Structure 1
Amino acid sequence: MAYISCDIDGVLTDYPNCWLDYLSTCCGKRYSTIEEAKKYEKDYKFFKHKYRISGHKGLLAVNHDVVDVLSILKYKKKYNIIIATSRPIYDENYPDLFRLTEMWLEKNSIPFDFLEYKDLSACFVDKYDKLCFHIEDEKRYAIPIAQKGVRVFLKASYSDDFISDNVVSIYKIDEVLKYV
Protein backbone atom coordinates (compact mmCIF):
# COMPACT_ATOMS: atom_id res chain seq x y z
CA MET A 1 0.00 0.00 0.00
CA ALA A 2 1.26 3.50 -0.86
CA TYR A 3 1.58 6.26 1.73
CA ILE A 4 1.76 10.03 1.79
CA SER A 5 2.52 12.21 4.79
CA CYS A 6 1.44 15.71 5.73
CA ASP A 7 2.51 18.17 8.41
CA ILE A 8 -0.06 19.83 10.67
CA ASP A 9 1.13 23.25 11.80
CA GLY A 10 1.66 25.51 8.81
CA VAL A 11 -0.07 23.14 6.40
CA LEU A 12 -3.34 22.05 8.02
CA THR A 13 -3.36 25.11 10.32
CA ASP A 14 -2.42 28.77 9.96
CA TYR A 15 0.80 28.41 11.94
CA PRO A 16 2.68 30.51 12.97
CA ASN A 17 -0.15 33.07 13.07
CA CYS A 18 -2.25 30.98 15.47
CA TRP A 19 0.70 30.74 17.88
CA LEU A 20 1.60 34.42 17.54
CA ASP A 21 -2.05 35.36 18.21
CA TYR A 22 -2.03 33.25 21.39
CA LEU A 23 1.30 34.74 22.47
CA SER A 24 -0.05 38.25 21.88
CA THR A 25 -3.02 37.50 24.13
CA CYS A 26 -0.71 36.24 26.89
CA CYS A 27 1.99 38.89 26.85
CA GLY A 28 0.17 41.89 25.38
CA LYS A 29 2.59 42.43 22.51
CA ARG A 30 2.18 41.35 18.89
CA TYR A 31 5.27 39.86 17.29
CA SER A 32 5.37 39.51 13.52
CA THR A 33 7.57 36.39 13.40
CA ILE A 34 8.60 33.53 15.66
CA GLU A 35 12.20 34.69 15.41
CA GLU A 36 11.24 38.15 16.67
CA ALA A 37 9.21 36.64 19.52
CA LYS A 38 12.08 34.37 20.58
CA LYS A 39 14.50 37.30 20.53
CA TYR A 40 12.42 39.81 22.49
CA GLU A 41 9.95 37.84 24.61
CA LYS A 42 11.75 36.84 27.81
CA ASP A 43 9.00 34.38 28.77
CA TYR A 44 8.77 32.75 25.31
CA LYS A 45 9.42 29.19 26.54
CA PHE A 46 6.97 29.59 29.42
CA PHE A 47 4.21 30.76 27.06
CA LYS A 48 5.00 27.98 24.56
CA HIS A 49 4.64 25.40 27.34
CA LYS A 50 1.40 27.04 28.48
CA TYR A 51 0.13 26.96 24.88
CA ARG A 52 0.84 23.24 24.59
CA ILE A 53 -0.98 22.33 27.81
CA SER A 54 -3.87 24.76 27.39
CA GLY A 55 -5.90 22.68 24.94
CA HIS A 56 -5.80 25.61 22.50
CA LYS A 57 -4.40 23.37 19.75
CA GLY A 58 -7.68 21.46 19.86
CA LEU A 59 -9.53 24.62 18.85
CA LEU A 60 -7.40 25.70 15.89
CA ALA A 61 -9.09 26.47 12.59
CA VAL A 62 -8.30 24.09 9.76
CA ASN A 63 -7.24 24.91 6.20
CA HIS A 64 -10.12 23.28 4.34
CA ASP A 65 -8.33 23.32 0.99
CA VAL A 66 -5.73 20.96 2.47
CA VAL A 67 -8.45 18.68 3.88
CA ASP A 68 -10.03 18.57 0.41
CA VAL A 69 -6.73 17.50 -1.18
CA LEU A 70 -6.09 14.88 1.52
CA SER A 71 -9.61 13.53 0.96
CA ILE A 72 -8.93 13.15 -2.77
CA LEU A 73 -5.62 11.42 -2.02
CA LYS A 74 -7.27 9.08 0.49
CA TYR A 75 -10.57 8.22 -1.14
CA LYS A 76 -9.94 8.63 -4.86
CA LYS A 77 -6.22 7.95 -5.17
CA LYS A 78 -6.24 5.32 -2.36
CA TYR A 79 -3.21 6.52 -0.40
CA ASN A 80 -2.78 5.81 3.30
CA ILE A 81 -2.23 9.12 5.06
CA ILE A 82 0.36 9.74 7.75
CA ILE A 83 0.03 12.95 9.71
CA ALA A 84 3.62 13.78 10.68
CA THR A 85 3.92 16.54 13.24
CA SER A 86 6.73 18.19 15.17
CA ARG A 87 4.36 18.73 18.09
CA PRO A 88 5.87 16.92 21.09
CA ILE A 89 3.09 14.32 21.10
CA TYR A 90 5.17 11.73 22.99
CA ASP A 91 6.77 14.11 25.48
CA GLU A 92 5.82 13.27 29.07
CA ASN A 93 5.50 17.00 29.78
CA TYR A 94 2.50 17.03 27.43
CA PRO A 95 0.65 13.79 28.21
CA ASP A 96 -2.59 14.92 26.56
CA LEU A 97 -1.12 16.32 23.35
CA PHE A 98 -1.28 13.11 21.29
CA ARG A 99 -4.96 12.53 22.11
CA LEU A 100 -5.81 16.23 21.70
CA THR A 101 -4.19 16.23 18.26
CA GLU A 102 -5.96 13.02 17.27
CA MET A 103 -9.32 14.42 18.43
CA TRP A 104 -8.69 17.65 16.49
CA LEU A 105 -7.99 15.65 13.32
CA GLU A 106 -11.19 13.64 13.79
CA LYS A 107 -13.32 16.68 14.72
CA ASN A 108 -12.25 18.42 11.51
CA SER A 109 -12.82 15.31 9.33
CA ILE A 110 -9.18 15.18 8.32
CA PRO A 111 -8.51 11.78 6.77
CA PHE A 112 -5.54 9.97 8.29
CA ASP A 113 -4.37 6.47 9.08
CA PHE A 114 -1.37 7.20 11.32
CA LEU A 115 -0.21 10.04 13.55
CA GLU A 116 3.59 10.24 13.81
CA TYR A 117 6.12 12.46 15.53
CA LYS A 118 8.48 14.19 13.09
CA ASP A 119 11.87 15.59 14.05
CA LEU A 120 14.93 16.69 12.10
CA SER A 121 16.15 13.09 11.78
CA ALA A 122 13.01 12.28 9.74
CA CYS A 123 13.14 8.76 11.21
CA PHE A 124 9.36 8.34 10.80
CA VAL A 125 10.09 7.93 7.06
CA ASP A 126 11.94 4.67 7.74
CA LYS A 127 8.76 3.02 9.06
CA TYR A 128 6.99 3.20 5.68
CA ASP A 129 8.47 1.42 2.65
CA LYS A 130 6.23 3.09 0.11
CA LEU A 131 6.12 6.70 1.31
CA CYS A 132 5.54 8.53 -1.97
CA PHE A 133 5.65 12.15 -0.80
CA HIS A 134 5.34 14.54 2.13
CA ILE A 135 3.64 17.95 2.36
CA GLU A 136 5.57 20.44 4.51
CA ASP A 137 5.90 24.16 5.24
CA GLU A 138 9.36 24.28 6.81
CA LYS A 139 12.60 23.88 4.89
CA ARG A 140 14.41 22.50 7.95
CA TYR A 141 12.11 19.43 7.92
CA ALA A 142 11.76 19.19 4.15
CA ILE A 143 15.46 18.65 3.47
CA PRO A 144 16.06 15.60 5.73
CA ILE A 145 12.90 13.95 4.42
CA ALA A 146 13.96 14.61 0.82
CA GLN A 147 17.43 13.23 1.58
CA LYS A 148 15.75 9.93 2.46
CA GLY A 149 14.44 9.73 -1.10
CA VAL A 150 10.93 11.05 -0.46
CA ARG A 151 9.61 13.86 -2.65
CA VAL A 152 8.56 16.85 -0.55
CA PHE A 153 6.03 19.47 -1.57
CA LEU A 154 7.09 22.63 0.26
CA LYS A 155 4.58 25.43 0.66
CA ALA A 156 5.80 28.59 -1.13
CA SER A 157 8.08 31.17 0.51
CA TYR A 158 11.24 29.30 -0.53
CA SER A 159 10.54 29.29 -4.26
CA ASP A 160 13.42 31.57 -5.23
CA ASP A 161 16.02 29.44 -3.47
CA PHE A 162 17.42 26.14 -4.60
CA ILE A 163 16.45 23.96 -1.71
CA SER A 164 17.31 20.36 -2.42
CA ASP A 165 16.77 17.62 -4.93
CA ASN A 166 13.39 16.02 -4.38
CA VAL A 167 11.82 19.24 -3.00
CA VAL A 168 9.10 20.89 -5.08
CA SER A 169 7.87 24.37 -4.09
CA ILE A 170 4.12 24.82 -4.34
CA TYR A 171 1.96 27.91 -3.97
CA LYS A 172 -1.42 26.21 -3.71
CA ILE A 173 -2.03 22.84 -2.13
CA ASP A 174 -3.96 21.46 -5.09
CA GLU A 175 -0.72 21.62 -7.13
CA VAL A 176 0.17 18.34 -5.39
CA LEU A 177 -2.55 16.59 -7.39
CA LYS A 178 -0.68 17.28 -10.66
CA TYR A 179 2.06 14.93 -9.50
CA VAL A 180 -0.06 11.90 -8.56
Structure 2
Amino acid sequence: MRTKAVRLYGKNDLRLEEFELPPIKEDEILAHVVSDSICMSSYKAAIQGPDHKRVPKDIDKNPIMIGHEFCGEILEVGLKWKDKFKPGQKFTIQPALLYEGGPMGLLSAPGYSYKYIGGDATYIIIPNEVMEMNCLLPYNGEAYFYGSLSEPMSTIIGAFHACYHREQGKYIHHMGIVEGGNMALLAAG
Protein backbone atom coordinates (compact mmCIF):
# COMPACT_ATOMS: atom_id res chain seq x y z
CA MET A 1 0.00 0.00 0.00
CA ARG A 2 1.33 3.45 -0.90
CA THR A 3 1.21 6.13 1.75
CA LYS A 4 2.01 9.81 1.88
CA ALA A 5 3.55 10.97 5.17
CA VAL A 6 5.46 13.77 6.82
CA ARG A 7 8.69 12.22 8.04
CA LEU A 8 11.37 13.59 10.31
CA TYR A 9 15.01 13.17 9.19
CA GLY A 10 16.77 15.56 11.59
CA LYS A 11 16.51 18.94 13.28
CA ASN A 12 14.15 21.10 11.20
CA ASP A 13 14.21 18.44 8.48
CA LEU A 14 10.61 17.43 7.74
CA ARG A 15 9.79 15.91 4.36
CA LEU A 16 6.44 15.10 2.76
CA GLU A 17 7.08 11.83 0.96
CA GLU A 18 5.17 9.12 -0.84
CA PHE A 19 6.41 5.56 -0.42
CA GLU A 20 5.35 1.92 -0.21
CA LEU A 21 4.47 0.42 3.18
CA PRO A 22 5.60 -3.17 3.72
CA PRO A 23 2.92 -5.89 4.05
CA ILE A 24 1.62 -6.12 7.61
CA LYS A 25 2.81 -8.91 9.90
CA GLU A 26 0.37 -11.20 11.72
CA ASP A 27 0.56 -9.01 14.85
CA GLU A 28 0.06 -5.64 13.07
CA ILE A 29 -2.86 -3.60 11.71
CA LEU A 30 -3.07 -1.52 8.52
CA ALA A 31 -5.10 1.69 8.94
CA HIS A 32 -6.19 4.83 7.14
CA VAL A 33 -5.67 8.10 9.06
CA VAL A 34 -8.65 10.42 8.60
CA SER A 35 -7.87 13.18 11.10
CA ASP A 36 -4.77 14.37 12.96
CA SER A 37 -4.53 17.27 15.40
CA ILE A 38 -1.40 19.40 15.42
CA CYS A 39 0.46 19.49 18.73
CA MET A 40 3.28 21.61 20.09
CA SER A 41 5.00 18.34 20.99
CA SER A 42 5.31 17.55 17.27
CA TYR A 43 6.83 21.00 16.75
CA LYS A 44 9.27 20.31 19.59
CA ALA A 45 10.23 16.96 18.02
CA ALA A 46 10.78 18.68 14.65
CA ILE A 47 12.99 21.38 16.21
CA GLN A 48 15.01 18.99 18.40
CA GLY A 49 15.18 16.06 15.98
CA PRO A 50 17.30 13.22 17.41
CA ASP A 51 17.92 15.22 20.61
CA HIS A 52 14.24 14.77 21.57
CA LYS A 53 13.80 12.06 24.21
CA ARG A 54 11.22 10.10 22.15
CA VAL A 55 12.97 10.37 18.76
CA PRO A 56 15.56 7.75 17.71
CA LYS A 57 19.13 8.94 17.09
CA ASP A 58 19.31 7.40 13.60
CA ILE A 59 16.40 9.26 11.93
CA ASP A 60 18.77 10.53 9.23
CA LYS A 61 18.84 6.90 7.96
CA ASN A 62 15.51 5.66 9.40
CA PRO A 63 13.06 8.58 9.43
CA ILE A 64 9.95 8.49 11.61
CA MET A 65 6.39 9.60 10.84
CA ILE A 66 5.23 12.51 12.98
CA GLY A 67 1.82 13.21 14.51
CA HIS A 68 0.40 11.50 17.60
CA GLU A 69 -3.17 12.88 17.93
CA PHE A 70 -5.02 10.95 15.26
CA CYS A 71 -8.14 9.01 14.45
CA GLY A 72 -8.97 6.77 11.52
CA GLU A 73 -10.33 3.53 10.15
CA ILE A 74 -8.89 0.03 10.28
CA LEU A 75 -8.33 -1.52 6.83
CA GLU A 76 -6.64 -4.86 7.52
CA VAL A 77 -6.05 -6.84 10.70
CA GLY A 78 -3.24 -9.33 11.29
CA LEU A 79 -4.17 -12.81 12.50
CA LYS A 80 -3.24 -12.15 16.15
CA TRP A 81 -5.80 -9.34 16.52
CA LYS A 82 -8.70 -10.61 14.31
CA ASP A 83 -10.87 -11.41 17.36
CA LYS A 84 -10.52 -7.90 18.80
CA PHE A 85 -10.43 -5.55 15.76
CA LYS A 86 -12.21 -5.58 12.39
CA PRO A 87 -11.75 -3.83 9.03
CA GLY A 88 -14.03 -0.77 8.86
CA GLN A 89 -13.77 -0.13 12.61
CA LYS A 90 -12.94 3.45 13.65
CA PHE A 91 -10.11 3.98 16.13
CA THR A 92 -8.13 6.54 18.03
CA ILE A 93 -4.71 6.14 19.67
CA GLN A 94 -3.32 6.69 23.15
CA PRO A 95 0.32 7.42 22.18
CA ALA A 96 1.86 6.99 25.67
CA LEU A 97 2.51 3.26 25.35
CA LEU A 98 4.85 2.70 28.31
CA TYR A 99 6.15 -0.37 26.48
CA GLU A 100 9.70 -1.45 27.32
CA GLY A 101 10.34 -3.21 23.99
CA GLY A 102 9.78 -0.23 21.67
CA PRO A 103 12.54 1.55 19.73
CA MET A 104 12.97 4.11 22.55
CA GLY A 105 12.08 1.76 25.43
CA LEU A 106 9.38 3.16 27.73
CA LEU A 107 9.52 6.50 25.88
CA SER A 108 8.47 4.98 22.53
CA ALA A 109 5.39 6.59 21.04
CA PRO A 110 3.54 6.73 17.72
CA GLY A 111 4.34 10.03 16.02
CA TYR A 112 7.82 10.19 17.55
CA SER A 113 9.60 6.84 17.48
CA TYR A 114 8.24 4.66 14.68
CA LYS A 115 8.92 4.35 10.98
CA TYR A 116 5.37 3.40 9.91
CA ILE A 117 2.96 4.97 12.41
CA GLY A 118 2.19 8.65 12.80
CA GLY A 119 -0.86 10.84 12.33
CA ASP A 120 0.60 12.96 9.53
CA ALA A 121 0.15 10.13 7.03
CA THR A 122 -2.55 8.72 4.80
CA TYR A 123 -1.93 5.04 5.69
CA ILE A 124 -0.03 3.53 8.62
CA ILE A 125 0.99 0.22 10.12
CA ILE A 126 0.04 -0.04 13.78
CA PRO A 127 2.68 -2.15 15.56
CA ASN A 128 1.87 -4.97 17.97
CA GLU A 129 2.85 -2.99 21.09
CA VAL A 130 0.02 -0.48 20.55
CA MET A 131 -2.53 -3.30 20.89
CA GLU A 132 -0.54 -5.12 23.62
CA MET A 133 -0.71 -1.99 25.78
CA ASN A 134 -4.44 -1.45 25.01
CA CYS A 135 -3.62 1.86 23.33
CA LEU A 136 -5.63 1.24 20.13
CA LEU A 137 -9.03 2.51 21.21
CA PRO A 138 -12.29 1.79 19.39
CA TYR A 139 -13.99 5.07 18.45
CA ASN A 140 -17.72 5.39 17.87
CA GLY A 141 -18.08 9.14 17.38
CA GLU A 142 -19.61 10.74 14.32
CA ALA A 143 -16.75 13.14 13.50
CA TYR A 144 -13.18 11.84 13.27
CA PHE A 145 -11.69 15.10 14.55
CA TYR A 146 -13.27 14.47 17.97
CA GLY A 147 -11.26 11.23 18.14
CA SER A 148 -8.09 13.18 17.32
CA LEU A 149 -8.77 15.35 20.36
CA SER A 150 -8.90 12.42 22.81
CA GLU A 151 -5.15 12.58 23.54
CA PRO A 152 -5.01 16.33 24.24
CA MET A 153 -8.17 16.06 26.36
CA SER A 154 -6.56 13.29 28.41
CA THR A 155 -3.60 15.59 29.16
CA ILE A 156 -5.99 18.33 30.32
CA ILE A 157 -7.82 15.91 32.60
CA GLY A 158 -4.49 14.58 33.91
CA ALA A 159 -3.32 18.12 34.68
CA PHE A 160 -6.55 18.85 36.59
CA HIS A 161 -6.16 15.65 38.59
CA ALA A 162 -2.56 16.54 39.39
CA CYS A 163 -3.47 20.09 40.46
CA TYR A 164 -6.64 19.42 42.41
CA HIS A 165 -6.34 15.91 43.82
CA ARG A 166 -2.74 15.66 45.01
CA GLU A 167 -0.63 17.34 47.65
CA GLN A 168 2.35 19.08 46.13
CA GLY A 169 5.41 16.83 46.23
CA LYS A 170 3.37 13.70 47.06
CA TYR A 171 1.85 11.07 44.81
CA ILE A 172 -1.11 10.18 47.01
CA HIS A 173 -4.37 10.65 45.11
CA HIS A 174 -7.33 12.14 47.06
CA MET A 175 -10.76 12.31 45.45
CA GLY A 176 -13.86 14.21 46.54
CA ILE A 177 -14.66 17.67 47.83
CA VAL A 178 -11.98 19.22 50.01
CA GLU A 179 -12.84 21.93 52.54
CA GLY A 180 -11.52 25.23 51.23
CA GLY A 181 -10.66 23.54 47.93
CA ASN A 182 -11.33 24.69 44.40
CA MET A 183 -13.39 22.96 41.76
CA ALA A 184 -12.96 22.92 38.00
CA LEU A 185 -15.75 22.28 35.54
CA LEU A 186 -14.35 20.35 32.55
CA ALA A 187 -17.48 20.09 30.46
CA ALA A 188 -21.15 20.88 30.73
CA GLY A 189 -23.97 20.41 28.38
- Normalised by the size of structure 1, how large is the TM-score? 0.22
- Normalised by the size of structure 2, how large is the TM-score? 0.21
Structure with greater Cα Rg: 2
